[in-house]
C-alpha cells in the first residue's frame, strides 16, 4: 500500500496556471479594450452632436431673423408681394442668406414654402422649385418645432478598402416666422433647413476610436505578455517545488523503511553473532579432535569454520549497515588509506591475476576523515572490482586535487564486466546485488560512509567496459 504514495503524487500534476490565465485574460483584454473604445468614442460623439446641434439652431435662428429683417420686412414696407421666383427677389434673398452664413460651417441652406412642400430657395440651385422633398421634419417644423436629424454613414469598417466613404450631415429644421411687432402671433411663413457637414469630425472620431483600440490593445497586449511571463515563471517554480517535495517524500519514505528494516536486521544479526562465534570455536576444537581420530574427515570441520567465517562477515556487514557509526574525523591522507588497503589485498590480487596501477598525487593535502571507515569504503569498492574481473584485469587507482582546489578526489577504475544502466541507477540501494552469494550491502555502506563525510560518490560504467567509482571530499 505504501508504495502507491509516490505514484499518486506524480499524477497530481500542479495546476496549469499559464493555460487558464492565457485564454481568460486574452478574452478579457480584447473585450475591455473594445468596450473602452466604444464608450469613449460614443461619449465624444454625443458631446460633438450636442454642440453641433446647438450651433445649427443658433445659426438657423439667425438666418431666420436676417431673412425677416432684410428681406421680408423691406418688401412688406414697400407693399410688395414675396415672390422668390422673381430673379431679383431671389438674388436679394440669396445675398441675405449668404451674408448671414458667411464664414460659418454650413453645407447648405434651404427654404421650404408653407404651401405645397416646395423648395422656394436653396443654396444648392438644382433643388429650387422641387416639390415634396420636405419629410416628417418639415411637417414638424411647420407646426412650430425645432427638429434636428443626423444622417451618418461611417464606422471603423469604412477604413477598409472598398467600403465606401464616410459621410455625416446634421440637418436642422426650424420654422421661418414673422417677427413681432408685425405679427404678434409670430405666424409661420415656411421652413428653413440648415445642413452642417460633420464628415471631417466623424472621420476624426472614427480615427480616434481606432487609435484607442490600437493603443489599448498594444498596452494590454504588453501587459498580458509581461503577466504571462511572470505566471509562467511562477508555474515553473510551483512545479519545481512540487517535484522537490515529491522527491523528499519518496526519500523520507525510503529512509523510514530502511530505518525499520535496519532495526530488525540489527537485532537479528546481533542474535546470530554470538551463536556463530560459539559454532566456529567449537568447529575448530572439533576439527583438531577429528584430525587425530579420522584425519580423512578433518576437512569437514574446516568447511564449517570457513562457512561460519563467511557468515560472520555477512553479519558484520549487516551490522555495519544497520548501525552506521558516526565517523571520528582526524586529518588523514587518502593516499595512506589506499596504500594500506591495496597492500592488504595484494596477495589476493596476485592470485586472481589482477594488476594494480596506482597514480597517487604526492602533494595531496590532508582531509578530515575516519581512517577505518574510509578503509572499509575503499575495500568494498576494490572487492567489487575484483569480483567483476573473474579472469583478471587491471585496477587503476588515482588520487588528486579537484580543479577548484577545494576538494580531493579518488578514483577506482577496473576493466571488469561493467554494468547495465538499470543496475547503475540502483547500486547504492541496500540489497541490490547481481551475485548469488552477495548481500548487496557493500555499496550501501560505502554511500553511508561518504555521506557521513559530507562527500560525494559517483559512478561511470558501461556493460562490458568496466566501471569507475569516484569519491570527492571537501578539504
Ligand X SMILES: Nc1ncnc2c1ncn2[C@@H]1O[C@H](COP(=O)(O)OP(=O)(O)OP(=O)(O)O)[C@@H](O)[C@H]1O
Binding site for ligand X (CB under 6 A): 317, 380, 384-385, 388, 414, 416-419, 423, 427, 432-435, 438-444, 467
Which residues have a Cβ under 8 Å from the Cβ of 13 and sit 6 or more positions away?
A: none
Sign of the CA dihedral 26, 32, 37, 42?
A: positive
Q: Under DSSP, is residue 113 helix (H, G, I), strand (E, B) or coil?
A: strand
Which residues have a Cβ under 8 Å from the Cβ of 385 and sit 6 or more positions away?
A: 395, 412, 414, 416, 467
Q: Would you call 285 exposed, middle or buried from its count of C-beta atoms within 10 A (0-12, 13-18, 19+)?
A: exposed
Quick one: what does residue 467 bind among Mg ion, ligand X, none, with the CB cut-off 5 to 8 Å set by partner type?
Answer: ligand X
Which residues have a Cβ under 8 Å from the Cβ of 330 and sit 6 or more positions away?
A: 368, 369, 370, 371
* Closest CB to Mg ion among residues 167, 387: 387
* Closest CB to ligand X among residues 29, 379: 379
Report, in Å, the least distance between residue 414 CB and ligand X.
5
Report, in Å, the least distance between residue 452 CB and ligand X.
17
Report, in Å, the least distance between residue 421 CB and ligand X.
12
Report CA 287 to chain centroid distance, whole Å.
Answer: 76
Number of residues near Mg ion (by CB under 5 A): 2
Contact set for Mg ion, span 416-445 (CB under 5 A): 442
* Closest CB to Mg ion among residues 190, 442: 442
* Closest CB to ligand X among residues 342, 384: 384
Report, in Å, the least distance between residue 281 CB and ligand X.
25
Q: Whose grid coordinates read 425645432?
A: 146
Judge whether 399 and 361 are in contact, CB under 8 Å. Answer: yes
Contact set for Mg ion, span 178-207 (CB under 5 A): none
Contact set for Mg ion, span 380-399 (CB under 5 A): 384
* Closest CB to ligand X among residues 214, 431: 431
* Closest CB to Mg ion among residues 122, 384: 384
Quick one: what does residue 388 bind among ligand X, Mg ion, none, with the CB cut-off 5 to 8 Å set by partner type?
Answer: ligand X
Report, in Å, the least distance between residue 449 CB and ligand X.
13
- CA 147 – CA 172 distance, rounded (Å): 6
Q: Under DSSP, is residue 385 helix (H, G, I), strand (E, B) or coil?
A: helix
Quick one: what does residue 96 bind among ligand X, Mg ion, none, with the CB cut-off 5 to 8 Å set by partner type?
Answer: none
Which residues have a Cβ under 8 Å from the Cβ of 57 and sit 6 or more positions away?
A: 146, 148, 172, 174
* Closest CB to ligand X among residues 122, 308: 308
Report, in Å, the least distance between residue 464 CB and ligand X.
10
Q: Under DSSP, is residue 109 helix (H, G, I), strand (E, B) or coil?
A: strand
Quick one: what does residue 416 bind among Mg ion, ligand X, none, with the CB cut-off 5 to 8 Å set by partner type?
Answer: ligand X
* Closest CB to Mg ion among residues 297, 426: 426
Which candidate, 110, 105, 79, 80, places its Cα nearest to that of 93? 110
Q: Whose grid coordinates read 407646426?
A: 143
Chain residue whose CB lies nearest ligand X: 442
Quick one: what does residue 419 bind among ligand X, Mg ion, none, with the CB cut-off 5 to 8 Å set by partner type?
Answer: ligand X
Binding site residues, Mg ion, CB under 5 A? 384, 442
Amino acid at each position: 500500500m505504501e508504495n502507491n504514495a509516490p505514484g499518486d503524487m506524480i499524477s497530481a500534476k500542479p495546476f496549469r496556471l499559464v493555460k487558464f490565465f492565457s485564454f481568460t485574460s486574452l478574452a478579457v483584454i480584447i473585450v475591455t479594450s473594445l468596450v473602452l473604445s466604444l464608450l469613449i468614442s460614443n461619449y465624444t460623439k454625443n458631446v460633438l452632436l450636442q454642440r453641433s446641434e446647438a450651433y445649427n439652431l443658433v445659426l438657423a435662428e439667425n438666418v431666420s431673423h436676417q431673412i425677416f429683417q432684410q428681406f421680408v420686412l423691406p418688401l412688406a414696407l414697400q407693399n410688395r408681394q414675396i415672390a422668390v421666383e422673381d430673379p431679383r427677389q431671389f438674388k436679394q434673398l440669396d445675398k441675405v442668406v449668404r451674408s448671414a452664413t458667411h464664414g460659418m460651417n454650413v453645407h447648405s441652406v434651404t427654404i421650404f414654402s408653407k404651401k405645397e412642400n416646395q423648395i422656394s430657395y436653396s443654396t444648392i440651385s438644382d433643388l429650387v422649385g422641387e416639390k415634396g422633398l420636405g419629410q416628417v421634419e418639415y411637417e414638424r417644423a411647420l407646426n412650430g418645432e425645432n427638429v434636428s436629424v443626423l444622417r451618418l454613414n461611417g464606422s471603423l469598417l469604412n477604413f477598409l478598402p472598398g467600403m465606401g466613404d464616410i459621410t455625416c450631415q446634421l440637418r436642422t429644421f426650424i420654422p421661418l416666422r414673422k417677427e413681432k411687432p408685425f405679427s404678434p402671433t409670430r405666424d409661420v411663413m415656411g421652413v428653413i433647413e440648415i445642413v452642417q457637414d460633420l464628415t471631417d469630425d466623424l472621420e476624426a472620431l472614427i480615427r480616434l476610436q481606432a487609435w484607442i483600440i490600437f493603443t489599448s490593445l498594444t498596452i494590454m497586449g504588453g501587459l498580458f505578455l509581461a503577466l504571462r511571463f511572470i505566471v509562467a515563471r511562477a508555474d515553473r517554480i510551483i512545479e519545481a517545488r512540487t517535484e522537490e517535495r515529491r522527491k523528499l517524500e519518496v526519500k523520507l519514505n525510503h529512509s523510514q523503511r530502511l530505518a525499520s528494516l535496519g532495526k530488525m536486521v540489527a537485532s537479528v544479526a546481533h542474535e546470530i553473532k554470538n551463536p556463530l562465534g560459539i559454532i566456529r570455536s567449537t568447529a575448530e576444537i572439533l576439527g583438531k579432535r577429528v584430525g587425530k581420530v579420522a584425519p580423512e574427515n578433518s576437512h569437514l570441520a574446516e568447511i564449517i569454520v570457513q562457512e561460519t567465517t563467511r557468515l560472520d562477515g555477512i553479519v558484520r556487514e549487516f551490522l555495519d549497515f544497520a548501525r552506521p557509526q558516526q565517523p571520528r574525523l582526524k586529518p588523514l591522507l587518502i593516499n595512506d588509506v589506499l596504500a594500506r588497503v591495496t597492500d592488504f589485498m595484494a596477495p589476493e590480487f596476485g592470485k586472481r591475476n589482477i594488476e594494480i596501477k596506482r597514480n597517487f598525487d604526492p602533494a595531496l593535502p590532508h582531509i578530515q576523515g575516519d581512517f577505518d571507515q574510509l578503509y572499509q569504503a575503499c575495500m568494498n569498492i576494490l572487492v567489487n572490482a575484483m569480483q567483476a574481473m573473474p579472469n583478471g584485469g587491471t585496477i587503476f587507482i588515482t588520487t588528486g586535487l579537484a580543479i577548484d582546489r577545494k576538494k580531493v578526489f579518488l578514483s577506482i577504475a577496473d576493466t571488469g564486466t561493467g554494468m547495465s544502466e538499470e543496475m547503475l541507477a540502483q547500486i547504492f540501494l541496500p540489497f541490490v546485488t547481481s551475485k548469488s552469494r552477495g548481500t548487496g550491502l557493500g555499496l550501501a555502506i560505502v554511500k553511508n560512509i561518504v555521506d557521513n563525510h559530507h562527500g560525494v560518490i559517483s559512478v561511470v560504467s558501461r556493460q562490458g567496459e568496466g566501471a569507475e567509482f569516484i569519491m570527492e571530499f571537501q578539504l
